[in-house]
């Protein structure tokens, strides 16, 4: 029985790592541009489909993997350079809704280019595995877990120790003041879109291998990713990582109990809701002070 729990725990950590990677990509972009990108999942889905297509053409595996990341960067930067600047001075809600439109456009293009079919991305790491405490763990799962931790550590170091990281933090504090200080706003924002898109491409690639290669499923991965980002207050990368892992593990464990299994899709909302309540503890609601 312990082995069964171990298998679901490992599975949950792997999927939670993908949620965390998505959350990190969202937080990096949100901190630099103020945009909550609902198209993140669709970008990941398009990237995964391109990787599958490249592999299906018989090209080498590394070419397919790189194509996923490049596709994510191109699709993300394209939005960041062509559409986002015209909305830079609009309300955050308007910016977020605009990305919903981009998500629908990408979903439509994916449906136009690829028919519905059972597909899977095969990675060499799928067949390699290690056994820990009697539980077999594929290297792909270890890769997902390690990548999520590396992404958090790498981005913290980048934001704290590099000049462009400093510029990103300045944009997050005040876009107008950053521009007055001579920070190249467009260049820095494009870099943020590129980093976020690269993470989306990588996440889509792993999702297509670990879970399933279905564009709609990958697209709506953005929901638990946003929930993970909410756990991190849309700013903390460490808490976003913990939030993503928690969502993945709770989802996996709920499948062990038949009465709870149908409710597992509610996990991101419940975890995000509890996180919001915890963050607001001790605070009065705004309308409670109004008379």
**Is residue 210 within 8 Å of residue 204, measured between CB atoms?**
no
Predicted confidence (pLDDT) per residue in 176-196, tens digit: 777 777 788 888 889 999 999
Average pLDDT, the chain: 87
Contacts of 163 (CB under 8 A, 6+ apart): none
Q: Which residues pair with 129 in a beta bridge?
A: 138
From CA 83, how far away is CA 67, in angstroms rounded? Answer: 23
From CA 177, how far away is CA 67, in angstroms rounded? Answer: 37
**Is residue 9 within 8 Å of residue 218, measured between CB atoms?**
no
Predicted confidence (pLDDT) per residue in 83-137, tens digit: 988 888 788 889 899 999 999 999 999 999 998 888 888 888 888 888 887 788 8
Residue 151 has pLDDT above 90, yes or no: yes
Predicted confidence (pLDDT) per residue in 273-288, tens digit: 888 888 877 776 554 4
Residue 291 has pLDDT above 50, yes or no: no
Q: 125, 150, 120: which is closest to 139 by C-alpha? A: 125
| Tokens 């993470």, located at residue | 199
DSSP 8-class letter at 57: T
From CA 210, how far away is CA 228, in angstroms rounded? Answer: 19
Which of residues 76 and 286 earns the better pLDDT score?
76
Report pLDDT for 288.
Answer: 47
From CA 168, how far away is CA 155, in angstroms rounded? Answer: 11
CB burial readout 29-49, b (16+ within 10 A) else e: bbbbbbbbbbbbbbbbbbbbb
**Is residue 135 within 8 Å of residue 10, measured between CB atoms?**
yes
DSSP 8-class letter at 86: G
Which of residues 33 and 79 earns the better pLDDT score?
79
Report pLDDT for 250.
Answer: 92
User: Average of pLDDT values for 26-34?
Assistant: 88
Which of residues 151 and 178 earns the better pLDDT score?
151
Q: What stretch of H or E contains 135?
A: strand 135-138
Which of left, alpha, beta for 233 (phi over 0: left; psi -120 to 50: alpha)?
A: left
Per-residue pLDDT band at 175 (split at 50, 70, 90): confident
Report pLDDT for 88.
Answer: 80
From CA 246, how far away is CA 228, in angstroms rounded? Answer: 9
Can you give the pTM of this predicted structure? 0.89
Q: 147, 241, 146: which is closest to 203 by C-alpha? A: 147
């Amino acid at each position: 029985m312990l082995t069964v729990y171990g298998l679901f725990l490992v599975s949950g950590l792997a999927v939670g790592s993908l949620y965390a990677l998505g959350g990190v990509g969202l937080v990096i972009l949100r901190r630099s541009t103020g945009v909550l990108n609902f198209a993140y999942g669709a970008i990941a889905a398009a990237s995964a489909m391109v990787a599958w297509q490249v592999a299906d053409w018989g090209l080498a595996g590394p070419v397919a993997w790189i194509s996923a990341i490049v596709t994510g960067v191109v699709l993300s930067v394209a939005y960041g350079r062509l559409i986002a600047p015209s909305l830079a001075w609009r309300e955050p809600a308007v910016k977020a809704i605009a990305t919903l439109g981009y998500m629908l456009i990408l979903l439509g293009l994916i449906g136009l280019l690829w028919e519905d079919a059972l597909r899977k991305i095969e990675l060499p790491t799928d067949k390699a595995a290690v056994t820990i405490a009697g539980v077999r763990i594929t290297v792909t799962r270890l890769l997902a877990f390690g990548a999520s931790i590396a992404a958090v550590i790498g981005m913290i170091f980048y934001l704290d120790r590099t000049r462009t990281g400093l510029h990103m933090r300045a944009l997050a504090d005040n876009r107008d003041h950053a521009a007055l200080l001579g920070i190249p706003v467009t260049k820095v924002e494009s870099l943020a879109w590129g980093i976020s898109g690269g993470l989306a491409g990588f996440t889509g690639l792993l999702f297509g291998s670990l879970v399933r290669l279905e564009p709609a499923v990958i697209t709506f991965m953005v929901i638990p990713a946003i929930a993970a980002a909410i756990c991190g207050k849309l700013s903390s990368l460490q808490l976003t990582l913990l939030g993503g892992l928690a969502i993945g593990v709770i989802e996996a464990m709920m499948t062990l109990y038949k009465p709870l299994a149908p409710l597992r899709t509610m996990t991101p909302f419940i975890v995000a809701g509890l996180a919001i309540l915890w963050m607001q503890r001790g605070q009065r609601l705004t309308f409670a002070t109004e008379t």
